[in-house]
């Protein structure tokens, strides 16, 4: 009795230049796979959903493809790669609008169009960087130097913010609320060091040492240093306020996870718990940090008005006194604008890492 001809389960995904098909058949040998007149023909003996049988299917593609499919056999499946003739995004795989019953999205490889474009740009950047490094010297040597440099930078920042976080935690456990009021005099020197060193992070992004976008890094650098050096550093009246504790504590809580994650990334280590913390803790901590910064600015306004520090008189004929508190009120708006920009950037990072895979895609 001849084997029954059946259709296997087929899963697909795409990039701008390629199509990926995964045929759920095990123990396949010498499959017949070809493309004629833009139709993929598949026929093979293998073990599928209906046991050991001959399975076959035909797919007419939505747009033109190159007639040379490449396939790879594994013990459990057949992986087929088809090159598109024109690099573009397809709204579906097949010419017919109704999806065949045996065809489904491959969520293990699926990306939406924007993510695929980012992947394509990343590959192009990687290719250009490789060419640049090959022209400048040994790629492996330069990569190792870059990783070593970034590892040391992240290690120093991790140790600095860890010292601040542990110091504030221990003092709070021992002294309670009394520890709030001398936070600045206790840890300010270390915070000055860490925040001045953070300039390196923005420079790294600007010159291409890291792939981080420059704007979010620059916003965080300028915003924190304004609070640290102007609001706290120049006004002794602010240094004894409890808000300093909350600002420093939230900053350090964010950074100890961020820098430890980057540090392990430099040595190709992926600790899932730390990765989850790095991409999740910012959700409550960043808004709380911005709220603490805003409170510090609001508390400093009457002090700047009273002392007249950084206020100035416009030249003749205006002769109007411009109070520094006017700029602080503008800065309050900028704090939450900066929060939106950084929140959006971090949300995109988290979505790329833990994005929703399961959505209806045809």
Tell me which residue of 235, 219, 166, 244 sits closest to 337, measured CA to CA.
219
Residue among 297, 301, 310 nearest 336 (CA): 297
The DSSP annotation for 172-193 comes to HHHHGGGGGGGHHHHHHHHHHH
The length of the chain is 362
SS3 assignment, position 313: strand
List the beta bridge partners of residue 59: 40
Catalytic-residue membership of 286:
yes
Beta strands in the chain (DSSP E): 5-6, 10-14, 18-23, 32-36, 39-48, 51-60, 70-73, 78-83, 103-105, 312-313, 321-322
Return d(Cα 320, Cα 55) in angstroms, integer: 86
Among candidate residues 71, 181, 192, 286, the one labeled active-site is 286
Catalytic hit among 153, 255, 293, 331: 293
Nearest to 45 by CA among 59, 26, 69: 26
What phi, psi does 15 have (nearest 5°)? -125, 180
Structure tokens at 33: 């796979």
- For residues 71 and 25, what is the distance between their CA atoms, to the nearest angstrom? 13
Looking at the chain, the number of H-run helices and the number of E-run strands are 10, 11
Residue with tokens 């695929």: 116
Beta bridge partners of 41: 34, 58
Sign of CA dihedral 118, 357, 215, 141: negative
Residues catalogued as catalytic: 286, 293
């Amino acid at each position: 009795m001849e084997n029954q001809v059946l259709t296997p389960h087929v899963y697909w995904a795409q990039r701008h230049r390629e199509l990926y098909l995964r045929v759920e058949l095990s123990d396949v040998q010498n499959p017949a796979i070809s493309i004629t007149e833009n139709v993929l023909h598949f026929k093979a003996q293998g073990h599928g959903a209906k046991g050991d049988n001959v399975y076959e299917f035909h797919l007419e593609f939505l747009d033109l493809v190159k007639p040379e499919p490449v396939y790879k056999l594994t013990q459990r499946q057949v992986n087929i790669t088809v090159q598109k003739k024109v690099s573009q995004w397809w709204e579906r795989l097949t010419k017919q609008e109704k999806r065949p019953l045996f065809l489904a999205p491959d969520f293990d490889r699926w990306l939406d169009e924007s993510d695929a474009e980012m992947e394509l740009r990343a590959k192009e950047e990687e290719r250009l960087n490789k060419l640049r490094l090959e022209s400048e010297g040994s790629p492996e040597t330069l990569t190792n130097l870059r990783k070593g440099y970034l590892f040391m930078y992240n290690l120093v920042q991790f140790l600095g913010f860890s010292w601040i976080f542990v110091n504030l935690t221990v003092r709070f456990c021992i002294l309670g609320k009394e520890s709030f009021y001398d936070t600045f005099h206790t840890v300010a020197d270390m915070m000055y060091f860490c925040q001045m060193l953070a300039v390196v992070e923005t420079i790294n992004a600007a010159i291409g040492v890291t792939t981080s976008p420059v704007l979010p890094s620059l916003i965080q650098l300028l915003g924190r240093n304004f609070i640290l050096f102007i609001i706290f550093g120049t006004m002794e009246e602010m240094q004894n306020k409890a808000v300093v504790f909350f600002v420093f504590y939230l900053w350090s809580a964010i950074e100890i996870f961020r820098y430890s994650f980057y540090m392990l990334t430099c040595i190709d280590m992926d600790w899932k718990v730390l990765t989850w913390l790095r991409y999740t803790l910012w959700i409550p901590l960043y808004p709380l940090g911005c709220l603490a910064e805003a409170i510090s600015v609001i508390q400093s306004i009457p002090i700047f008005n009273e002392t007249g520090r950084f206020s100035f008189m416009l030249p003749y004929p205006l002769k109007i006194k411009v109070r520094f508190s006017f700029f602080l009120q503008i800065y309050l708006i900028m704090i939450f604008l900066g929060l939106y920009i950084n929140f959006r950037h971090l949300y995109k990072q988290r979505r790329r890492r833990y994005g929703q895979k399961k959505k209806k895609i045809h």
